[in-house]
Amino acid sequence: MRIAVTGSSGRLGTATVERLRAGGHDVVGFDLAAPAGQGFTRVDLADYGQTLDALLGVTARHDGVDALVHLAAIPVNGLVPDVTTFHANLTASFNTVFAALRAGVRAVVCASSITAMGFPFDEPPPYLPLDEDFTAANTTYGLVKVLEETMAGQLVRWDPGLSVTALRFTNIVTPDDYGTFARAGDPAYRRDLLGSYVDVRDAAAAVELALAAARPGAVVYDIAAADTGLTIPSAELARRWFPDVPLRRELREFETLISIDRARARLGYAPAHTWREEYAAGQAVPR
């Protein structure tokens, strides 16, 4: 399959391009900060003309794509004014997904975020483990993720052949980040993430699985590691952080408080990396 990946020079984009190429796919990367060379084109997704043209074809690169992975975004509030985060991200996402629809691309996978489901959880979640049925935004960044998911639900009605999958990633961790898990025994650590994290390689694997499972319609999946990032048992974390929030089922010792059941069941998502091994390995190897 030939796949366009936006945000291909970023944290998740780099790992996703690597993963998809390793899976035998022909990948074209679109980014503002594209490294020169075969397989990459510098595209500003704020410009609809550039976006549509780049999806339809790029001389010496490709003559059309089968699928789109949309990862480009300003990845957090605070880097630019909140209003700029809103305008930039919503514009880039509308341009990209609408261009895919116009270009006849039928499989789209987009990066959503747990900021679409209540991060930083100053207000307690309604239940735990928290799943895809709950939506709440508290920042302009999260608001765009909610709007993107909503937009996907409408655009698939306009084109019954279109598939849009939104992957709600939690905090994405690269192998270089595992040193921060030295704080895993601190109950305040990752409280705003419900204790969660996801290894960038598992996040990239989820993208590949979502492409393989693409069916007409819009669907949302939570993507997190199978465990929390803490050494405190999950049931105790839930009690300590949210004493009045109901647990929907008994939790395994360090089970994630962000449910990945849907991704496991429908995508075959099976996170392979845990900080419990990665952190120990990092301690053994001086950096």
Ligand X SMILES: NC(=O)c1ccc[n+]([C@@H]2O[C@H](COP(=O)([O-])OP(=O)(O)OC[C@H]3O[C@@H](n4cnc5c(N)ncnc54)[C@H](O)[C@@H]3O)[C@@H](O)[C@H]2O)c1
- Which residues of this chain interact with ligand X, rule CB under 6 A? 7, 9-13, 31-33, 43-46, 71-73, 75, 92, 111, 113, 169, 171-172
**Nearer Cβ to ligand X, position 53 or 235?**
53
Whether omega before 120 lies within 30 degrees of 0, making that bond cis, reads yes
Q: How far is the CB of 243 from ligand X (least distance, A)?
A: 28
Identity of the residue, 235 or 262, whose beta carbon is nearer to ligand X in the bound complex: 262
CA 141 to chain centroid: 13
CB of 170 to ligand X, least distance (A): 6
> Which residue is closest to ligand X by CB?
10
Give the residue with the Cβ less far from ligand X, 91 or 235: 91
Nearest-approach distance from CB 229 to ligand X, in angstroms:
13
Distance between CA 170 and CA 187 in Å, rounded?
18
Element counts in the chain: helices (H) and strands (E): 8, 9
Place of tokens 């944290």: 11
User: For residues 70 and 53, what is the distance between their CA atoms, to the nearest angstrom?
Assistant: 16
Nearer to ligand X, 235 or 279 (CB): 279
* Least Cβ distance, residue 111 to ligand X (angstroms): 3
- Strand 163-169 to 172-173 pairing: unpaired
Considering beta carbons, is residue 78 or 216 the nearer one to ligand X?
Answer: 78
Taking the least distance from each CB to ligand X, the nearer of 10 and 271 is 10
Q: How far is the CB of 179 from ligand X (least distance, A)?
A: 16
Rounded Cα gap, residues 185 and 145, in angstroms: 31
Distance CA 77, CA 85 (A): 7
Residue 43 CB, shortest distance to ligand X, in Å, is 6
Query: What are the helix (H) ranges across the chain?
Result: 11-22, 48-56, 82-103, 140-158, 200-212, 234-241, 261-267, 275-284
230 contacts: CB under 8 Å, gap ≥ 6:
184, 185, 186, 187, 189, 190, 195, 237, 254
Tokens of 95: 């341009």
